[in-house]
Structure 1
Amino acid sequence: MDLLQKGWFTEFSPDDLERIKQSSDGSAKQLKSDGEDMGGAWPGQAFSLQIEEVLFHEKSLYQDVLVFKSKTYGNVLVLDGVIQCTERDEFAYQEMLAHLPMCAHPNPKKVLIIGGGDGGILREVLKHDTVEHVTMCEIDQMVVDVSKKYLPHMAKEFGNPKLNLFIGDGFEFLKAHKNEFDVVITDSSDPVGPAESLFGKSYYQLLKEALRDGGVLSSQGECPWIDLDLVRHMMAFSRELFSTVRYATASVPTYTTGTMGYLLCSNEENACGFIGT
């Protein structure tokens, strides 16, 4: 999968990536020569970063894992062709996804993080003095390992004694853990590859069951500018499951369109001071 062209990385949509895989030489260049319209991050638009050095590129058991040093955003983690975080702007995503639910709960002691193998959400959660125990369920050990090596400012809390790191499938973990957590945070990649199942109603039913009374859920909520149908779908089935459902957005420059959404849910009506719609 040739996403690195003449010193530049370009982010492709899932459909584009599938077409790359099916092309004769496995490259975006071949598709372009065949007259295909490669739209970049989404049809009609593209996002690229200039590369100074490729630091790591391998396939794990689950996905393509790439880390490169960019000219303007520091080290960049890419999973299956989609940017997950950069040193320069990662805080904008991590702080929103972590602190919205943590601040909405009056006394969050026990926290579950699904995904988050780069360590950024863990770092933010542990800034709250009330936290006594954090469980992280990450399916891909390689993501944790490369983050420790190439994104140490994000992965700095993996040695914290409050953490229990479980390498495995989030679905299976949730089936065995009911009514345990004050806050649950789903830090998933986009709905492709191993993260695809984390955007459906059955998964959110398990998240609901994992929360204690008064618990708060925060999930990566995609981008309303390009995924509005998916956002509406997630909001609709969440309202069938939870008493309180809210949606927030924030600016993250290296995510598609520069906007990321966050889905907030609770089993309690008007829970924990949530405002807005």
Structure 2
Amino acid sequence: MGEAAEVFHGNGFTDCEDDLYSKESRNKCSWYEEDLDDDLKWSFSLNSVLHRGTSEFQEIALLDTKHFGKVLVIDGKMQSAEMDEFIYHECLIHPPLLCHPNPKTVFIMGGGEGSAAREVLKHKNIEKVVMCDIDQEVVDFCRTYLTANQEAFYHEKLDLVIKDAKIELEEREEKFDVIVGDLADPMEGGPCYQLYTKSFYEQVLKPKLNNKGIFVTQAGPAGVLTHKEIFSSIYNTLKHVFKYVQAYTAHVPSFADTWGWVMASDQPFDLNAKLVDGRIEERIEGELLYLNGDSFISSTTMNKSVYQSLLNETHVYTEENARFLHGHGRAHRAEE
């Protein structure tokens, strides 16, 4: 890999970016590379950079990769890949909706790419979905280029709001059956780490849940070596706000790790595989690609290392004492 051929990274596109967009360069082997830690990188081969843009808040790119198909990258961090994003989004959306006795209204914090809304709208009993993303450019970019989600963006049940999710929740009088945190990972200097704090959960989010309401959030890497970065902290923070908190995990190949989600409610969760399968058949239009009753129940069982960390975690997210994920990404064109 040649340093002179670097195309973009977390802090912006370099002066060499035009190389990748030239016809000659597109015919050469290119690579996307993301820093997972100071001494660990994750890279995969590209066909091309399809599109890129810059908003008031962040940089956006759509990569055509050889292994994972189209990949959405924001601020140099991979958000989802065409080949396996269904794992992340099915795990984020369907467990809380299937655990709720009769969900009709959903509020999505973030979710600008449209995949979370797409999964919610598979539920026949849903009457209204509010998707609130702070970045108009991200929404417009994804609505244009992520063709799999275009139907969701124009669905009559979707209420799309471009606003800070915290302010939108504070100002709305209505309550919701399910609130979803489809947010970027907490990054130092990023726009959304405050939406992982105890004060936000306690003072803003929880009062906007209906009786028997459920909150779910993505909770970052949850592997044996990575779960202490933010996963255990998010879990512990929610334990300080809700009576019942349930963590669960799944391997997402394009993330190069096991990923975590956390559900929280003041009502107990009925974790029954047969019940989940019955509700999938009854409520969902079409077929899920990843999740069924047995896989969901198994996802709630942690290995010994992660289980002990969740049990013993003491850190609570506050505005003054947050934990952040490391890293950013960049693309290279291979030298001949």
Decide which structure has the larger Cα Rg and report it. Answer: 2
| Structure 2 equivalent of residue 133 of structure 1 | 128
Q: Is it true that 1:60 corresponds to 2:60 in the alignment?
A: no
**Cα deviations by residue, 1:31-65 (Å, 9 ceiling, x for unpaired):** xxxxxxx9822233211122212122222010111
Structure 2 CA distance for aligned equivalents of residues 235 and 219 of structure 1 = 10
Q: Is it true that 1:261 corresponds to 2:260 in the alignment?
A: yes
- Calculate the TM-score normalised by the size of structure 1: 0.83
The structural deviation recorded for 1:135 is: 0.6
| Structure 1 equivalent of residue 208 of structure 2 | 210
Structure 2 CA distance for aligned equivalents of residues 229 and 253 of structure 1 = 19
What's the secondary structure of 1:246's corresponding residue? strand
**Structure 1 pair 171–73 and aligned structure 2 pair: CA distance change class (3 A):** same
**Structure 1 pair 161–251 and aligned structure 2 pair: CA distance change class (3 A):** same
- Check whether the contact 2:219–2:231 (CA below 8 A) recurs between aligned residues: yes
1:164-179 to structure 2, matched below 5 A, reads 164-177=159-172
| Structure 2 equivalent of residue 187 of structure 1 | 182
**Cα deviations by residue, 1:12-47 (Å, 9 ceiling, x for unpaired):** 8xxxx5xx78xx9999xxxxxxxxxx9822233211
Q: Is it true that 1:123 corresponds to 2:118 in the alignment?
A: yes
Q: Kindly provide the amino acid, as one letter, of the partner of residue 128 in structure 2.
A: H
| Structure 2 equivalent of residue 198 of structure 1 | 195
Structure 1 CA distance for aligned equivalents of residues 83 and 138 of structure 2 = 19
Q: Is it true that 1:236 corresponds to 2:231 in the alignment?
A: no
Q: Is it true that 1:247 corresponds to 2:244 in the alignment?
A: no
| Structure 2 equivalent of residue 34 of structure 1 | none
Mark the runs of 5 or more structure 1 residues left unpaired by the alignment: 28-37
**Cα deviations by residue, 1:118-166 (Å, 9 ceiling, x for unpaired):** 1101111011111001111011111111112221103431111111110
Q: Kindly provide the amino acid, as one letter, of the partner of residue 131 in structure 1.
A: I
1:44-59 to structure 2, matched below 5 A, reads 44-59=39-54
Q: Is it true that 1:223 corresponds to 2:221 in the alignment?
A: yes
Structure 2 CA distance for aligned equivalents of residues 265 and 131 of structure 1 = 20
Structure 1 CA distance for aligned equivalents of residues 154 and 100 of structure 2 = 25
The structural deviation recorded for 1:8 is: 8.7
- Calculate the TM-score normalised by the size of structure 2: 0.69
Structure 2 CA distance for aligned equivalents of residues 100 and 5 of structure 1 = 46
- Check whether the contact 2:105–2:127 (CA below 8 A) recurs between aligned residues: yes
| Structure 2 equivalent of residue 111 of structure 1 | 106
What's the secondary structure of 1:241's corresponding residue? coil
**How many residues of Structure 1 are paired with residues of Structure 2 in the alignment?**
252
What's the secondary structure of 2:40's corresponding residue? coil
- Check whether the contact 1:216–1:264 (CA below 8 A) recurs between aligned residues: yes
What's the secondary structure of 1:127's corresponding residue? coil
User: How much identity, in percent, do the aligned residues show?
Assistant: 35
Structure 2 CA distance for aligned equivalents of residues 194 and 8 of structure 1 = 24
Higher RCO structure, 1 or 2 (CA under 8 Å, sep 6+): 2
Structure 2 CA distance for aligned equivalents of residues 264 and 127 of structure 1 = 20
| Structure 2 equivalent of residue 150 of structure 1 | 145
- Check whether the contact 1:178–1:211 (CA below 8 A) recurs between aligned residues: no
**Structure 1 pair 188–182 and aligned structure 2 pair: CA distance change class (3 A):** same
The structural deviation recorded for 1:198 is: 2.1
**Cα deviations by residue, 1:213-254 (Å, 9 ceiling, x for unpaired):** 100111011112324142222222211110110100011111
**Structure 1 pair 111–59 and aligned structure 2 pair: CA distance change class (3 A):** same
**Structure 1 pair 61–7 and aligned structure 2 pair: CA distance change class (3 A):** closer
Structure 2 CA distance for aligned equivalents of residues 80 and 190 of structure 1 = 11
Structure 1 CA distance for aligned equivalents of residues 103 and 175 of structure 2 = 12
The structural deviation recorded for 1:177 is: 3.0
| Structure 2 equivalent of residue 43 of structure 1 | 38
Q: RMSD of aligned C-alpha atoms?
A: 2.7
**Structure 1 pair 179–149 and aligned structure 2 pair: CA distance change class (3 A):** closer
| Structure 1 equivalent of residue 66 of structure 2 | 71
What's the secondary structure of 1:172's corresponding residue? helix
